[in-house]
Chain A
Amino acid sequence: MTAYLARRVLQAAAVVVLVTLIVFALLHLGPGASQAGVVGAGAARREFLLQYLSWLGQVLQGNLGFSARLNEPVSTLLAASLPRTLALTGISTLIALAVAIPAGIIQAVYRGKAADNALRVLTYAFYGLPSFVLGSVLILYFAVNPDLHLFGAEGPQAPGIGAVLTDWRDMTLPVATLSLAMIALFSRYMRSAAIDSLDEEYVEAARARGAGQGRVLARHVLRNSLVPVVTLVGLSIPQILGGALIVESLFNIQGAGWQIWQAAQNHDVPVILGFTLVIGIGAAIGSMLADIGYAVLDPRVRYARP
């Protein structure tokens, strides 16, 4: 286990370094980066590697750059907006799992029957439906529709994170949009994981010992297919954050994705790259934690290869 852990942490460290390199390379391509004070004017003529190292030193000291457009350090913007995004994605992910796991198991148990086929058609459809389309349709029918004025068309606009957690009138549609897209992804996966578990010998053995369907599903199928699904969530962090960007832009929620989008429209390169850097590092660490969690729960992984 220690060897596996050490190797995986080293890999993640390499990935984090590469993420910083990719972000810096993008920054280097961008016009106006040096004027924006990210690269540092004095360093502008130095070589790529030296510039990279001096930039990295700044980043390590918490200096992610400065937004001339908003007249604020990128780290301040990040501290204000990232909690909103984490609240939005966290709530949506939990809801998505709560729906997708039972849905996937139901599909696996009734494989090929009407319930499975109906859910498959639904997941196919939501799988292909971009979340901005889904979100705008929800706005059309539940927010701006004069007959059915149920929810707000915009996310909560009050500063701070409190409103994001409590204002359900305005948060329902964004959370629904983000979760529905995730449900399609997770339940497809849960279905195939549960089908695989159902075919395993331990399920047959449990049945042979006289275990009922409920016990087989709860003790054997659910537990064994849960591990890969939770891993999938860890590996999906970049997609989930990408989805948050779209939902935030549609519902005007001032989270991290919204800030990136605004920065992109206004050519505010330091903001885009500072945020990208933090998100990329977060996702790399998340995927490492998912892998380690998998290895802890499933010993076959860590003994699989030298």
Chain B
Amino acid sequence: MTTDQVRPATPEPGPAQPGPAQPGAAAPGGQLAPVRGSRGRHAGPPAANQSPASLLPAPASLGRRLLAAARSSPVAAAGLIILIAMTVFCFAGPLIYHTDQVHVFLRLANLSPRSGHPLGTDGEGDDELGRLMVGGQASLLVGAAAGVLAAILGSLWGAVAGYAGGYLDAVMMRIVDAGIAIPAIVVLLVLVVIYRPSELVLILAIALTSWLSTARLVRAEALTLRTREYVQMVRVMGGSGLRAVLRHITPNTAGTIAVNVTFQIANAILLLATLSYLGLGIQAPAVDWGGMIFQGIQTISSGYWWQIVPPGLAIMLVVVAFTMVGDGLRDSARRESGRR
């Protein structure tokens, strides 16, 4: 399982409850809505009358959060280093290590690793090391775009539902429940069958099947934020609900969202790889890591391990690295707000 949707389902007692903290039910590695505390409070001195949002220090940028997390957590630092190394490998690698990934060289097909082809060649005679770089570009780019888009969609949906409350909230969250009930990979298969899988379609389809978990998380936080003074003040001063959601609720869940983005990207990379492995992802001649494995599996009975293991390890490394960064970010957010 879990190549699709590895993230553990948030174990809320009922889908409707963000719930009073339940002993023994804290979320697993994945998705504990970090802390209900206001993120805005950590920096400034507690001056009087600070409730209007404009006086609150801006939530720390993602870059600063990453740095802080890397400094305080060796796990996050290791994850970040792996990610940087993989990005350099995929995008700068082809500049140094030139290969032809377009033409077919049947004379060179299925060579085992040797000098000249350190990772061997695939069934069409393309160099596997070079393919790993090119395939990684697609995996990382599509995965990142889909993960970020999913997080944005989910955050907005969750913020609106949590802020609105009442029937709108109930309806919006039942839609999320229904979406979660259907395995993501199945919906993805339907979408890529209906629309031919170009990279744009893949990004949209993956985002459309992954935003649900973010929506649950952000809604749980928005539910507590809407009762805060600075959000109430927006309404008192005549601000619209839209303004409250966009300017006050969403930015104050930035910590949760930042953690969630990393998990979403990891998940999106896995989903893309799974689709490509099923032969319905990125289409030839373009390739991603999952597509390389798809090619390798066609001849698995011949034992050409070099066509499967390196891209498999690459997927695992990147997914684990994103998860490590996410765990580190979450832990540092927890420390920052003083709980635990």
Q: Which residues of B contact A244 (CB under 8 A)?
A: 1
B17 touches A305 (CB 8 A): yes
Within 8 A of A (CB), among B1-58: 1-6, 8-9, 11, 13-17, 19-20, 22-29
Determine, out of A43-51, A76-84, A205-213, A278-286, the stretch whose residues face the partner at the interface: A278-286
Q: Which residues of A contact B (CB under 8 A)?
A: 7-8, 11, 14-16, 18-19, 21-23, 26, 29-31, 124-125, 127-133, 136-137, 139-140, 144-146, 153, 178, 181-182, 184-185, 188-189, 191-193, 196-197, 200, 224-225, 227-228, 231-232, 235-236, 238-247, 249-250, 260-261, 264-265, 267, 269, 272-273, 275-276, 279-281, 283-284, 287, 291, 294-295, 298, 300-301, 304-305
Closest 5 CB pairs of A and B: A243-B1, A133-B312, A18-B178, A130-B3, A242-B183
Q: Does B233 contact A (CB under 8 A)?
A: no
Report if B305 contacts A (CB, 8 A).
yes
- B2–A301 touching, CB < 8 Å: no
Taking a contact as CB atoms under 8 Å apart, the answer to whether B190 and A287 are in contact is no
**Contact with B16, one of A11, A239, A287 (Cβ below 8 angstroms):** A11
B303→A241 contact, CB < 8 A? no
Given contacts A128-B323, A144-B303, A264-B192, 6 further A-B contacts (CB under 8 A): A18-B175, A21-B178, A26-B190, A124-B323, A133-B315, A249-B278
Which of these, B6, B28, B279, B318, contacts A192 with CB under 8 Å? B28
Q: Which residues of A contact B301 (CB under 8 A)?
A: 144, 153
Complex CA–CA separation, A284 to B277 (angstroms): 28
- In contact, A125 and B316 (Cβ under 8 angstroms): yes
Contact with A along B271-299 (1 / 0, CB 8 A): 00110011110000000001001001100
- Sample (29) of A-B pairs whose CB atoms are under 8 Å apart: A11-B14, A15-B178, A30-B190, A31-B194, A124-B320, A124-B324, A128-B318, A128-B319, A128-B323, A129-B316, A130-B3, A130-B270, A132-B3, A132-B293, A140-B305, A153-B301, A231-B13, A239-B5, A240-B1, A242-B185, A246-B185, A265-B279, A265-B280, A269-B193, A273-B190, A279-B186, A283-B180, A287-B15, A304-B13
Are the CB atoms of A125 and B1 closer together than 8 Å? no
Q: Given the complex of chains A and B, what is the CA–CA distance between A146 and B302 in angstroms?
A: 10
Tell me if B320 and A128 are in contact (CB < 8 A).
yes
CA distance A227 to B25 in the complex (A): 9
CA distance A29 to B192 in the complex (A): 12
Rounded to whole Å, the gap between the CB of B90 and the closest CB of chain A is 17
A128–B266 touching, CB < 8 Å: yes
Chain A interface helix/strand/loop/mixed: helix
Q: Is B182 an interface residue (CB 8 A)?
A: yes
- In the complex, B181 has a CB within 8 A of chain A: yes
Q: Is the CB of B8 within 8 A of A188?
A: yes
Q: Is A287 a contact partner of B181 (Cβ separation < 8 A)?
A: yes
Give bound CA distance, A269 to B14, whole Å: 33
A232 pairs with B8, CB closer than 8 A: yes
CB atoms of B316 and A185 under 8 A apart:
no
Give A291's nearest chain B residue, CB to CB. B14
A293, chain B: closest CB distance, angstroms:
11
Least distance between A107 CB and chain B CB atoms (Å): 12
Contacts of A131 in B (CB 8 A): 1-3
Identify the interface centre among A188, A240, A305: most chain B CB within 10 Å of its CB: A305
Number of B interface residues in the complex (CB < 8 A): 72
Are the C-beta atoms of A264 and B193 separated by less than 8 Å? yes
Q: List chain A residues, Cβ under 8 A from B273.
A: 130
The answer to whether B312 touches A284 (Cβ under 8 A) is: no
Residue of A with least CB distance to B179:
A22
Say yes or no: A243 contacts B3, CB within 8 Å.
Answer: yes
In the complex the two chains form, what is the Cα distance from A140 to B316 in whole Å?
18
Chain B residues with a Cβ under 8 A of chain A = 1-6, 8-9, 11, 13-17, 19-20, 22-29, 174-175, 177-187, 189-194, 266, 270, 273-274, 277-280, 290, 293, 296-297, 300-303, 305, 308-309, 311-312, 315-320, 323-324
Please name all residues of chain B whose beta carbon is closer than 8 Å to the beta carbon of A192 when the two chains form the complex. Answer: 26-29
Give every chain A residue within 8 A of B324 (Cβ-Cβ).
124
Chain A residue with the shortest CB-CB distance to B296: A136
Q: Which residues of B contact A294 (CB under 8 A)?
A: 13
Among A139, A236, A272, contact of B190 (Cβ-Cβ < 8 Å): A272
Rounded to whole Å, the gap between the CB of B142 and the closest CB of chain A is 15
B20 adjacent to A304 (CB under 8 Å): yes
Choose one: B6, B26, B318; the contact of A185 (CB below 8 Å): B6
Given contacts A14-B174, A19-B178, A197-B24, contact A26 B270 (CB under 8 A): no
Cβ B14 vs Cβ A8 within 8 A: yes
**Alpha-carbon gap, A232 to B26, bound state (A):** 12
Asked whether A196 lies within 8 Å of B23 as measured between CB atoms, the reply is yes
Complex contacts, B317 vs chain A, CB 8 Å = 128
Residue of A nearest to B13 (CB): A301
Shortest CB distance A106–B (Å):
16
Minimum CB–CB distance for A51 against chain B, Å = 17
Q: Is B13 a contact of A295 with CB atoms below 8 Å?
A: yes
Shortest Cβ distance from A10 into chain B, in angstroms?
10
Closest B residue by C-beta to A187? B28
Give Cα distance in the complex from A284 to B274, angstroms: 24
What residue in chain B is nearest A139 (Cβ atoms)? B300
Give the CA-CA distance A261 to B11 in the complex, in Å. Answer: 29
If the complex has contacts A140-B303, A232-B8, A304-B13, are A129 and B193 also in contact, measured as CB distance less than 8 A? no
> A300–B22 contact, CB under 8 A?
yes
Contact A130–B277 (Cβ < 8 Å): yes
Cβ A133 vs Cβ B308 within 8 A: yes
Q: How far is the CB of A233 from chain B (nearest CB, A)?
A: 10
A178-B8 in contact (CB<8A):
no
Whether B2 lies near A239 (C-beta < 8 A) is yes
Which of A22, A140, A224, A239 has a CB less than 8 Å from the CB of B308?
Answer: A140
